Amino acid sequence: DKGGYSHFMLKEINEQGAVVRSSLKGRIEGGRVDLSDELQWTAETVASWRSLHIVACGTSYYASLVAERALSRWTDLDVRVDIASEYRHRTVRTDAKTLAVFVSQSGETADTIAAQRVARGLGAHCLAITNVRGSTLAREVHDTLLLKAGPEIGVAATKTFMGQMSVLYLLALYLGRLRGGITAAEESRLVEELNQLPYKVEATVAREESLSELARIYAERRDFLFLGRGYSFPVALEGALKLKEISYVHAEGYAAGEMKHGPIALLDEKVPVITVIPRDSLYEKTLSNILEAKARKSPIIALGTDGDDLLKSYADHIITVPWTDEAFTPFLTVIPLQLFAYHVAKRRGCDIDKPRNLAKSVTVE
Ligand code: F6R
């Protein structure tokens, strides 16, 4: 049941505020993150970890890349993120001092399951973050944290990306507290902001009209470049993936600082550049990348923060999201990119909920 929406994807985009809310429910106690009901970790076990490996595919990998930044900041663990099909074959420093986290919406992705078996065999403590209780992955790991996003029907992952980021952030704040990587004041400030997120997500989804308008202008372009730095780099990757998979338009996501190392050669007036540029600590640097793209005559679409008037003199189109702490910006900035991909695909007459060549769970290697 599409609940009155024209596609499951649009319905699921609209459910994202509720997904963040249900991910947080019962996991925040007295202003602090508490996952002890779901994770029966002893203080000894938690203290024994040196590194944290996160392993996933596709959109789940991008959610992991977002969380890597928060985990590196709020915990003292050595954090790395790998694509499952690579992790399982490389010589990994995975051992009993490793907490290995496997992020998979379906819990049935062949490479993620295989990677878990490798890590487990090397002695790692394995945690699954999945939307499906009783999935193969969930049955094999030591611990599971559920997304509580409800079933996702659209092949393109949207609300489960939101759910994965929510749960990974809860894990980051919980580990930060248990291992003493974060001060109590910082923790309560972040938890407060986390509690505000469902409202800000809803406010952002409600701005759909401006993305439909943007899609009207750009739906016939052949190539797009998506740029971002820091927390916004994985958002750029995810924005490009959404556009590729549902509208079959070529799009590349790049770290903004890497543009001059190659992809800038692609730019001209035919290639729009979508820059994810919230008001954060890297803002000025990303602005300089916008100027570089502008000098090549690329149409500039800036995805920034409400009230950022400076962007007007840099960009041809400005889309904004409400302010949030730098660490939480991906929860908001990804939404206009999902909506943009949706509206481009719709204009191009694509089969949005069932894109060609793709399956909801990838059970082959
Ligand atoms: C993209 C998409 C895929 C999945 C990937 C992993 O919209 O849906 O890239 O994210 O196949 O799937 P899970 O999370 O089920 O392991």
156 lines ligand 1 (CB under 6 A): yes
Cβ atoms of 63 and 90 closer than 8 Å: no
Residue among 54, 60, 62, 64 to mutate when testing ligand 1 (max atoms within 8 A of CB): 60
pLDDT tens, residue by residue, 271-286: 999 999 999 999 999 9
Element (H, E) at 300: strand 300-305
What does the pLDDT read at residue 219?
Answer: 97
User: What contacts 242, CB < 8 A, 6 or more positions away?
Assistant: 156, 158, 337, 338, 340, 341, 342
Give me ligand 1 centre to Cα 361, in Å. Answer: 7
pLDDT tens, residue by residue, 232-266: 999 999 999 999 999 999 999 999 999 999 999 99
Residue among 83, 106, 136, 352 to mutate when testing ligand 1 (max atoms within 8 A of CB): 106
pLDDT tens, residue by residue, 128-149: 999 999 999 999 999 999 999 9
Inform me whether the pLDDT recorded for 115 exceeds 90.
Answer: yes
Inform me whether the pLDDT recorded for 326 exceeds 90.
Answer: yes
Inform me whether the pLDDT recorded for 44 exceeds 80.
Answer: yes
Inform me whether the pLDDT recorded for 364 exceeds 90.
Answer: no
Q: What is the pTM of this model?
A: 0.97
What does the pLDDT read at residue 168?
Answer: 98
ipTM of this complex prediction, to 2 decimal places: 0.99
Protein residue with least CA distance to atom 11, ligand 1: 58
Instruction: Return the sign of the alpha-carbon dihedral for residues 6, 8, 12, 15.
Output: positive
Least confident of 1-15, 46-60, 150-164, 345-359: 345-359
**Residue recorded with tokens 């994985």:** 234
Cβ atoms of 52 and 179 closer than 8 Å: no
Give me ligand 1 centre to Cα 131, in Å. Answer: 12
Give me ligand 1 centre to Cα 258, in Å. Answer: 26
Give, in order, the Cα–Cα distances in Å from 267 to each of 53, 288, 294.
Answer: 36, 15, 9
